[in-house]
A and B are shown apart, each in its own frame.
Chain A
Amino acid sequence: MASNTQATPTGPATAPSVRQPTAQWARGPAVPIASVVFALAIGAVLVLLSGHDPISAYADLFRGAFGSPYDITETLIQTIPLVLAGLSVAVAFRTGLFNIGAESQLLIGAVAAGAVGARFADLPGFLLFPMVLAAGIGAGAAWAAIAGYLKAARGVNEVITTIMQNYIVVFVMHWLLQNGPMTAPNALGTPASSPIGAGAVLPIIIPNELVPLTRLHAGIFLAIGAVVVFWFLLWRTPLGYELRAVGLGARAAAQAGIDPRTHTVMAMAIAGGFAGLAGMIQVTGVFHRVFDGFSAGYGFDAIAVALLGKNSPIGIVLAALLFGAFARGGSIMQANAGVSSQLVSVIEAIVLFVIAAELIVRLLSARRGRKPVEAIA
């Protein structure tokens, strides 16, 4: 593995700069790439042990994700929520916060978008869509700001509060959708809300003649826009500078006249907004209604995406694409090679494990060497 690490060009070893995300990324990709290669190698051994051919399994994995235009669009559909939830986690990371609650912020954004979209279903699109968009982002932001406020005002660790918030939303969704105010009358036992109005539905962006049956929706543009906003906000605005300053050292930032507490609340609200947008896009682009428990852990995968992507815009997009490809390709691998799609979960876990290990080593050595501690990743 070591050879892999060294073989990858690591770029100039510049001092950490708060100004140049691209430079940081150029210095950074060695470890993420090595961790993915390492995880794939371990995965190959597991496939071999289970009596299958790893080469054909990985070929099927790749073909499942990128083998046809339809597969590519399905991979992108999986990637979109991962990008947005990844941005959510990354904004918090950059401000020195662990947002473990992207999942609940995503879900509450979906619930709000679904509720508004169904309640005002008759409104025309130019009114309804902005309302649904605002509901999704606003709900996620407000929900996450609670954890930010508790941290700023009461010193409650945001890891604890955001984890607890996940449970609250999951059970509120059970209530809302199984037998509550949002339950659709003819859901046939599937806990789901009524469909949202046609005006709120994100259109399919590729014509059926070009890629038959594709479900790729305009949410991809919202996701790309969000990546640009993330980059611009953090590296081109005073607020972003202050957020990153708090992330690099809250006490130093306070000395410089930046109040870490208000910035903690703001960072969480922004993080929640990104995650809420992810939920809103899933509702308006994929389901057109809210299902109970539909997310299947995008908010948790997002933590891995942000870490693997080193909290940089390009890194997050690439990491989300990788995880999206795993999600889509895993199904095909199971269908064609007979290898359980659980394998991709194992690979993802190993990736995360390697990155976390590297992070700890780096933090320890930075402390020992009295080098400036970088923002996490």
Chain B
Amino acid sequence: MKRALAFLLLATTVVAACSSGNNAATSTPTASATASATATPKPIQVGLVTDVGGLNDKSFNQAANTGRLNAEKDFGLKTSVIESKKQEDYVPNLTTFAQQNYDLVIAVGFLMQNAAWKVAKQFPNVKFAIIDGAPADDAGAAQNLPNVANLFFKEQEAGYLVGVIAATMAKNKVGKATHNTLCSMGGIPIPPVDHYMAGFQDAIKTVDPSATILIGYSNDFVDQQKGKEVGLNHISKNCDILFQVAGGSGLGYIAAAKEKGVYAIGVDVDQIDVAPGTVITSAMKRVDKAVYDTSSSVKSGSFKAGDNFFSATNDGIAYGKLDPIVPADAKAAADKALADIKSGAIKPKTDLTVKP
């Protein structure tokens, strides 16, 4: 047993020594090759690491990959993607790109905050970006690093836009929206969720102060059944338009709206296809835009570590496709609100007016 262990250690050491020797040997010709080919500068390399949702999640990962492909096309970058299959893959996948001297490594989603912190600390010369998150140490505390961009979104602005559409429809009693009552449901009361709903409420109060507003939480981001229960409860209290801010659990909220024949609003990505005829629009974070712009910033040398905000001003938030039921005046009101947010005339609230 002991001898076996000794052999194993020896073998590992020998292999390690051989391989690092190989690396040193091969790196020299490569270096000279690149030196001789200085006429064509080395293309900027961007690596994207998805979370366990994978590339076809119809949400953040997919949007981030779209941004990557657009950036590759428009800026002549060399880009790659790795899908993480399990949580323990986050660190090695980020490390893989960093070790290959990629210029920018993008981690999709706050689930990777700790992994990104670990890896970015080890590779101070590689730039990193985290979608919807900031580096977090092992205790879970946020710790900004000089080579990491934290890509955040002004959710309240997206919430405001869909709030204008919903409130305008409710005020004019369009279609099945007859009670002038608007509701929203969050997953867990965390800042990004509450920002969406605060902007939504702010818009409703601005359009029609007499409208009724209800709010609830499913206390879950996955369980559809919990979302559906909150939805049915809201509908029983005369809600006509339901705004979900609860990820997978929110799909149950939309399902309740569909079952009872009222309207719903999607979140994060364009969810018009989730339930056509029920979903009237979506409050969108443009994750693709964040990836695209951050890749561009590395190429142009304007990369900014720390908090970066994506908002109406830089097209980082938007409202999604509209159902035909949405009247022209509601769309016009949303477009005007968008212009006012861009100009600074409107600053949507980040604190909830109506609380549970």
Contact = CB atoms under 8 A, between A and B. Distances in A.
A211 B13 CA distance: 9
Nearest to A289: B138
Chain B binding site: helix, strand, loop or mixed by DSSP? helix
A68 interface: yes
A188 B88 contact: no
Given A178-B220, A331-B96, A335-B47, A186 B141 contact: yes
Contact of B138 (A72, A77, A195): A195
A286 interface: yes
Interface string A35-79: 000000000000000000000000000001001111010100100
Interface residues of A, number: 46
B289 to A, nearest CB: 23
Q: How large is the interface on B (under 10, 10 to 19, 20 to 34, 35 or more residues)?
A: 35 or more
Interface stretch (A118-126, A247-255, A291-299): A291-299
B139 to A, nearest CB: 7
Nearest to B98: A213
Nearest to A78: B88
Interface string B219-241: 11110000000000000000000
Interface stretch (B75-83, B197-205, B262-270): B75-83
Contacts of B322: none
Best-buried of A69, A186, A286 by chain B (most CB within 10 Å): A69
A189 B190 contact: yes
A307 to B, nearest CB: 21
A179 B219 contact: yes
Interface stretch (B1-9, B158-166, B298-306): B1-9
A206 B16 contact: yes
A334 B83 contact: yes
A335 B220 CA distance: 33
B15 A72 contact: yes
Contact of B5 (A69, A221, A286, A294): A221
A131 interface: no
Contact of B97 (A184, A282, A335, A338): A335
A341 B82 contact: yes
A186 B86 contact: no
B81 A188 contact: no
A329 to B, nearest CB: 11
List of 10 A-B pairs having minimum Cβ-Cβ separation, nearest first: A296-B86, A186-B140, A69-B16, A335-B80, A331-B82, A335-B82, A74-B92, A69-B19, A286-B88, A294-B87
Interface of A: 64, 67-70, 72, 74, 77, 178-179, 184, 186-190, 195, 206, 210-213, 215, 220-221, 224-225, 228, 282, 286-288, 291, 294-296, 327-328, 331-332, 334-336, 338, 340-341
